Amino acid sequence: MIVALSIAAAVAGAPMSCSLPSGWDSIEAKRARFLVFGELHGTGESPELVGTVACALAEKGHRVLVGVELDASSNEKLQQLWSTQSQGFAQRIVKDLPGFAERQDGVGSEAMLAMLDRLHTLSRSGKKIDILAFNSDPAEEKKWAELPGQGPHEAGQAANIAAAAAGKHYDDVLVLVGNLHARKQPVDDQGVMFKPMAMHLASAGSVLSLNEIFATGTAWNCILKPSANPKPGEQIADSDVDCGAHKIGGGAPRPATQLGLWFAGQPKKDSAYDGYFWFPVVNGSPPAGKGAGD
């Protein structure tokens, strides 16, 4: 079971458990080149879990690469910050990493910042942990312009992860990404079919994809207000969007955080993923660069 600590404590450098979660043996037995955690953006638990897994593997002496869905255009700056000493790292991420402070979608959350700070501290203490910002941008996506729908974006994400993974000998490559990108089946977007990132990534090695599930809780995200009625093709006004911690529900309760693989006949099995990572309760994590009320 993962020990729950506050995000503030994590950023402040408080110790956190590095025990691998229940169910890890079934994941490890697959020996996948890429382990993809498909999250619902904006919860505190997903980044904490990935940070804990990376920590536990690094403590075993593994070399670990952790990919996060920050813009690849900011990766050079992220690597510069990663090579600095631990003191003030979290503050520099918010202040100096392009685009981080502006994120309202959970990718730039307090939980994400806490995970980055935790892993950076471990890295500076001698653990073999590297970080990667892999989210592709329109300029590089031109390479895959022939792909339908969102395909160029998905292919760009996969290419960035594959290139970084090939740069060193990594024992483990962990990817934290929105669960649409983690699917291993095509997505139908209003009649246009495209392959998600995980399907493209499979050309670089075996992929094990897990979907986040939970019983109840909240997630910080931005949704249209019930009163909003945007016209097709028009930009959505800020006044029509509600950004905050919203209630969400998932599945039947289990006793504790765990990982697992789907098995034949399992209720609510989603065949777009190989398995799941489960939380009894999730909690919305606000943007690190802005107050929850902004």
Residue 291 tokens read as 């107050």
Instruction: Identify the helix (H) or strand (E) that includes residue 258.
Output: strand 258-261
User: Which residue type, as a one-letter code, is found at position 103?
Assistant: R
pLDDT of residue 207: 98
Residue 227 tokens read as 């009163």
Question: Which residues are bridge partners to 43 per DSSP?
Answer: 284
The dihedral built from the CA positions of residue 160, 164, 167 and 171, taken in this order, carries a sign that is negative
Chunked mean pLDDT (size 10), the chain, 294 residues: 33 61 93 97 96 97 98 97 93 96 91 97 96 95 96 98 97 97 94 96 97 90 79 73 83 67 61 90 90 40
Closest residue by Cα to residue 220 from 17, 45, 12: 45
All structural domains of the chain with their residue ranges: 16-228+235-282
Distance between CA atoms of residues 2 and 22, nearest Å:
9
Which residue, chain included where needed, has tokens 């043996």?
25
pTM over 0.85: yes
Closest residue by Cα to residue 276 from 159, 131, 191, 179: 179
